[in-house]
Structure 1
Amino acid sequence: MATSMDTTATEGDGNSPLPLLIWLSPGFPVGAFAYSHGLEWAVEAGDIVDARSLEAWLADLMEFGALRSDAVLFSAAFRSAAAADWPALIEANALAVALSPSAERRLETTAQGAAFVAAARAAWDCEPLRRLDHAPDGRIAYPIAVAAAASGHGLPLGASLEAFALAQAANLVSAALRLGPIGQTDGQKILAALLAPIRALARAAYGASLADLGGAAFRSDIAAMRHESQYSRLFRS
């Protein structure tokens, strides 16, 4: 595993990670606001009742769950795109879609992935994004789409991993805010507390390969499955 990452760029550098602030902002049209990653069921079931339980849930996702897997997949796709190894990029995408443990998780990643590619191709087109046209059944996983764009525009992998993981965590905190167990101040405290785990996740994923994939966040996977039949819902996942 690498011990240091390329997280910074000099002022005026054409490879400044500024585009990440656009691509991963709530205003970029991927519809992230519509997904809760199973949090909606976890709140109803009483697994998440306050800031402490939400922070623990998200930290577990980074260490054992889908957030960790997405970071590893992001890293592998980024390096494949940088090397112009298009079969490897398509393989990483197919694996990312196949690893979705439920129908709603698959919808969550592929709907956002397709929306990201459409918006990025319109304004930030690059060869790796075009190569994703060869994805089987046209399904593109969200971490693969963002990684392809970041690599295609020469952005640093370390900064891209940190920004992607933070955006995922921030979206789940936003979902929890709308579900009611935390307030806005709690949300900011949680994000501040998660910065260290996010940096650790990015460092681990930086040197990881697809062989490092694995997870054990079963309660989160069950939450996603149970959400599919939840009676009253605000979110699509």
Structure 2
Amino acid sequence: MLMTTNEPAPAAVSDGMTEGESGALYRLMTWLSPSFPVGAFSYSSGIEWAVEAGDITDAASLRGWLAAMLTDGSGFCDSVLLAQSHRAVSDQDHAALSEVAELAAALAPSRERQLETTTQGRAFIDIARAAWSSPGLDAIIAACGGPIVYPVAVGLVSAAHRIRLAPSLHAFLHAVVSNWISAGSRLIPLGQTDSQRVLADLEPDVTATARRAAAASLDDLGSATFRADLASLRHETQYTRLFRS
């Protein structure tokens, strides 16, 4: 189920989903679609440098790089931050939300990564608030007290709309991985079929990462993808660039 259960269950629609569940699915598909204008297409999360350096040369090496980023790097860390912000909003704990937002903004390993996550977070908040207003959302945003990075933005907006954590995490990770693959497909380059094979191969990693993040605490935050962090740092001085990170 996509929605919380502390309200009376709405009537079921013809396909077996409730109206609330259909609405939650519709919003997640919209907010985390490549067409949602947060500017994700302009960032590669350091993949551009990894391609130039020869670390990523084909579908297999792209899959290995992304699996590491997903399970032991920014994918897992961002998912933990999403989960913690979602819980803070669900519990109406503004102090905890402020703590998560401040920590998340401080964790970016490079200037470009900071730009990437804060710019997307700001765009996500602005567009979601303008098109899908929710009672109390302005107060929730104000409680963050500073820049709101992308995973925190997704977590707090999803919670404000009473969308469950599990589907929010899966949709977020699917969007992140899809954007990474899109960047890789343009840089290597890869054909559409190979790109979809990489996405299919990463499905178990997405599922496992979402499950780990949902059970994790802020104390579990940590990355073991030093090469990917170096890629985001070295991209800042890369001579020829298609992407902003």
| TM-score after normalising by structure 2 | 0.90
2:72 to 41, 60, 64: 64
Query: How many residues end up aligned between the 2 structures?
Result: 231
Distance 1:86 1:163 in 2: 25
Alignment correspondent of 1:235:
243
Alignment pair present for 1:11 and 2:17: yes
1:90 to 83, 98, 104: 98
Assess if the C-alpha contact under 8 Å between 1:43 and 1:49 holds in 2. yes
Distance 2:167 2:37 in 1: 21
**2:34 alignment partner, SS class:** coil
Cα offset, 1:64, TM superposition: 0.9
Alignment pair present for 1:79 and 2:87: yes
Cα offset, 1:181, TM superposition: 3.3
**1:228 alignment partner, SS class:** helix
Alignment pair present for 1:105 and 2:117: no
| TM-score after normalising by structure 1 | 0.93
Assess if the C-alpha contact under 8 Å between 1:158 and 1:202 holds in 2. yes
Distance 1:51 1:164 in 2: 22
Alignment correspondent of 1:210:
218
Q: For structure 1, which runs of at least 5 residues remain unmatched after alignment?
A: 1-5
CA distance 1:129–1:218, change in 2 (3 Å): farther
Alignment correspondent of 1:132:
141
Alignment pair present for 1:169 and 2:184: no
CA distance 1:7–1:155, change in 2 (3 Å): closer
C-alpha offsets along residues 200-227 of structure 1, whole Å, 9 cap, x if unaligned? Answer: 1111111211111111100000000000
**1:28 alignment partner, SS class:** coil
**1:172 alignment partner, SS class:** helix
Instruction: Summarize the alignment of residues 34-49 of structure 1 with structure 2, pairs less than 5 Å apart.
Output: 34-49=42-57
Cα offset, 1:72, TM superposition: 0.6
Cα offset, 1:135, TM superposition: 3.5
C-alpha offsets along residues 54-102 of structure 1, whole Å, 9 cap, x if unaligned? Answer: 0000100111100110001111010001001111112111111100000
Determine what percentage of the aligned residue pairs are the same residue: 49
Distance 1:11 1:129 in 2: 30
Distance 1:11 1:37 in 2: 36
Of stretches 118-127 and 105-114 in structure 1, the one that deviates more from structure 2 is 118-127
C-alpha offsets along residues 135-171 of structure 1, whole Å, 9 cap, x if unaligned? Answer: 44x4110000011111111111111101101100000
Cα offset, 1:184, TM superposition: 1.2
